Amino acid sequence: MYKFFFTKFHALFLQQVPATGIGLFRLLYGLVTLQEIAFLLYFNHLIFDPVPYIDIEFPMIPFFLCLWGLCAFFIVIGYHCQRALIASYLFWLVFVQFTPMQRDFDGGFDIFMTGAGFFLMFMPVDRAFAIDRLRLKLSTPFTHYRQYPKARVSALSYYLPVLICLGFLYFDSAIHKLFAEHWRNGLGAWLPSTQPYYMSALDVSWLLNQEYLQKFIGYTILVFQFTFLFFFAHRKLRPLFWVTGVSLHSGITLILNIYPFGLGMLVFYVLLVPFSWWRCLGRYLRPGQPLLTVYYDRDCPLCNRTVLTLNHFDLLHCIDFKDAQTYAHDCVQLSVIPPDTLLKDLYAVSGKGRVYSGLDTYIQILINMRYPALFGWLLKIPGIYHYAGARYRAIADTRARINCGTQCAPAYSLRLPSFYSAIFEPTESHAQLKNTRKITKIFIFLVFLQLNSSIHYGLVYRFDIDTRGNTAAQALSQASNALLMVSQTFVGITPHALYLHDHFEGYDKLLAITYVDPKGAEKWLPFVNQEGRLLAPHWGRVHSMWANIAVTPNINEARLKKFIMKITAFWGHRLHLDPAQTRFNIKLKANSAPSVWIHDLRNLNLHGTWQTIGTARWLDGQFVIHLPRDLEAHGA
């Protein structure tokens, strides 16, 4: 096995491919992290306070969330990538392990994002769509951008994260699905979409009511997850796996209210895009010829840095920058620009031969770059135009020049010190072989960790194997648990037994909360609505708190009361309710979660009669709740 993996990995190690996908992967991962931090800030008191707005245990949480958000923003723009990724990875570890995020508010993707962040630290994330790459260019401003080497990276940096973070996850998940009756019946995608707590606001009844189509989707997911690990890298099958995976996770994002999980998984499919697709997309978006030619002063450091910056953001290659000294004859003849004024300003010539200078050149650059065209049009507004023109003139007339000719172009290497460069970019062949061996051994160790998780939870737990009477088996079980703790915490290898029979079997009741206003009118908290759906923005980890921990097939009374207390305290404060004068009613209605097909189950579950089964009040700062002694007896 070692020799097989070593041969494959060494071939991919030496194969150089564009860095486009990894740059986008970093950017999108940062955006998903950023939106989750914004979510945590919004629900800060609900998630982290023992009693929202009353007992504040972590007053510095918003400060640290803002620091984390700054790191995520740096990841998005690619600024100090290595440091930002390390800091973000540590934030994931700390918040998941040392706050209620995992215990009570598991968003379903925290461990997955931790694992993704771990592998990102070892990827060439600074090679595309990154400010770090621009910083390196600006360190040698007199080198023309055409002289910089194209961003090429090892193909192994694409395949390894997909293999481990997606391939292992899918295979483990598929093993667990075989133990769920509704998945064996082909209804694995259908059943969660019919449950009010899990559905989004998008009504897809027309799709859910197609029985054979839903079963086809369910069985397709099983086949897809079992085969992905072995065939996703096959050149001819790769587009098929890409389309299937993107469709699957787009459906999760749109149809279910666990959109962060769907988005987090979708981000990985940027790495799975065939490299030829990037080239085709580039040919489609980029013009055949530059739309604008800009002439600049080669001996001006400011001009050179400006050109490097503008070219860095010219993603579609719409602008061609030429130094006026080399192309003086061409631009004077073409544009009728007086030679004595050529170096005093920034000139541009459009494809139709129209000449622009000064601020107008910048306006045309922004417009012709297409995506920032709005800023170009804003600069044309009277007042803004005159102010910007005065600022431009003040800078242009005082800029410094040096007379160095071609001597100002030193040798250049686009490489920042990083984990990736240390592992994947040694120049000696023996060092490349040595590093490939290390990567292969680490991968085999990760395979062992995944097998430990899958066997422990997918087989031993599912078959309910009793190890209490066997000393050796008990020791082995304890060692397995210790490994699971390490692999789950630091690498994101964890059981993926999501939405199985032990989750939905017996899910026959829904709970909601209303309150009575000072006029005696009963109103619904903006949490669970009259249909039983969880309202935005409670999706994600707040949904998990209520639908996966508080209200389950086997309700734990202590946990339910705890979360009713947190919800009423949170929304009571947000709605400015007088805690001493407000009575909260606990509502219940029946729900159906079968393992067999039922036509129009989504709408059947959304309709139904609510009954008041309990009340809750805040009396003298104490939460008092009255619920039936046997809540399990209520409902269906």
Report the alpha-carbon distance of residue 298 to residue 144 in Å, rounded: 9
Q: How confident is the model at residue 104 (pLDDT cuts 50, 70, 90)?
A: confident
Shared domain check, 538 and 511:
yes
Q: At what angle do helices 81-98 and 471-490 cross, to 10 degrees?
A: 130
- The stretch 448-455 carries a mean pLDDT of 87
Shared domain check, 240 and 328:
no
Q: Let me know if residue 621 belongs to a domain.
A: yes
Residue 543 has pLDDT above 70, yes or no: yes
Last residue of a domain, one of 362, 387, 408: 408
- The stretch 509-519 carries a mean pLDDT of 92
Shared domain check, 321 and 185:
no
* 360-375 pLDDT per residue, tens: 999 999 999 999 999 9
Shared domain check, 315 and 255:
no
Q: Let me know if residue 498 belongs to a domain.
A: no
Q: Any idea which of 62-66, 442-446, 459-463, 514-518 has the lowest mean pLDDT?
A: 459-463
Shared domain check, 252 and 345:
no
Q: Other C-beta atoms within 10 Å of 3: how many?
A: 8
Higher pLDDT, residue 414 or 324: 324
* 231-286 pLDDT per residue, tens: 999 999 999 999 999 999 999 999 998 889 999 999 999 999 998 898 898 888 89
**pLDDT score recorded for residue 410:** 54
**pLDDT score recorded for residue 338:** 60
**pLDDT score recorded for residue 495:** 81
Q: For strand 292-296 and strand 319-323, is the pairing parallel, antiparallel, or unpaired?
A: parallel
**pLDDT score recorded for residue 496:** 80
**pLDDT score recorded for residue 554:** 85
Q: Any idea which of 107-111, 155-159, 261-265, 440-444 has the lowest mean pLDDT?
A: 107-111
- The stretch 11-16 carries a mean pLDDT of 94
H or E element, residue 566: helix 557-574
Report the alpha-carbon distance of residue 550 to residue 535 in Å, rounded: 16
In percent, the amount of the chain with pLDDT more than 70 equals 91
Q: Let me know if residue 76 belongs to a domain.
A: yes
Q: Let me know if residue 279 belongs to a domain.
A: no
Cβ density class 305-337: b for 16+ within 10 Å, e for less = ebbbebbbebeeebbbbbbbeeebeebbeebeb
Residue 636 has pLDDT above 50, yes or no: no
* H-state helical runs in 1-80: 2-14, 20-42, 44-48, 61-77
Nearest Cα residue to 497 out of 178, 112, 167: 178
Residue 217 has pLDDT above 70, yes or no: yes
Shared domain check, 291 and 230:
no
- Does pTM top 0.85 for this prediction? yes
Q: How confident is the model at residue 409 (pLDDT cuts 50, 70, 90)?
A: low
Higher pLDDT, residue 611 or 352: 611
Shared domain check, 161 and 89:
yes
Shared domain check, 307 and 256:
no
Shared domain check, 310 and 241:
no
For residue 60, the enclosing domain spans 2-272+421-488
- The stretch 600-620 carries a mean pLDDT of 93
Q: Let me know if residue 496 belongs to a domain.
A: no
Q: Let me know if residue 553 belongs to a domain.
A: yes
Last residue of a domain, one of 380, 408, 436: 408
- What's the mean per-residue pLDDT of the chain? 88
Shared domain check, 390 and 445:
no
Q: Let me know if residue 19 belongs to a domain.
A: yes
Shared domain check, 337 and 218:
no
Q: What is the SS3 assignment for 58?
A: coil
Shared domain check, 452 and 515:
no
Q: What is the SS3 assignment for 616?
A: strand
Give every CB contact of residue 79 below 8 A, 6+ residues apart in sequence. 130, 131, 132
Q: Let me know if residue 436 belongs to a domain.
A: yes
Total number of domains constituting the chain = 3
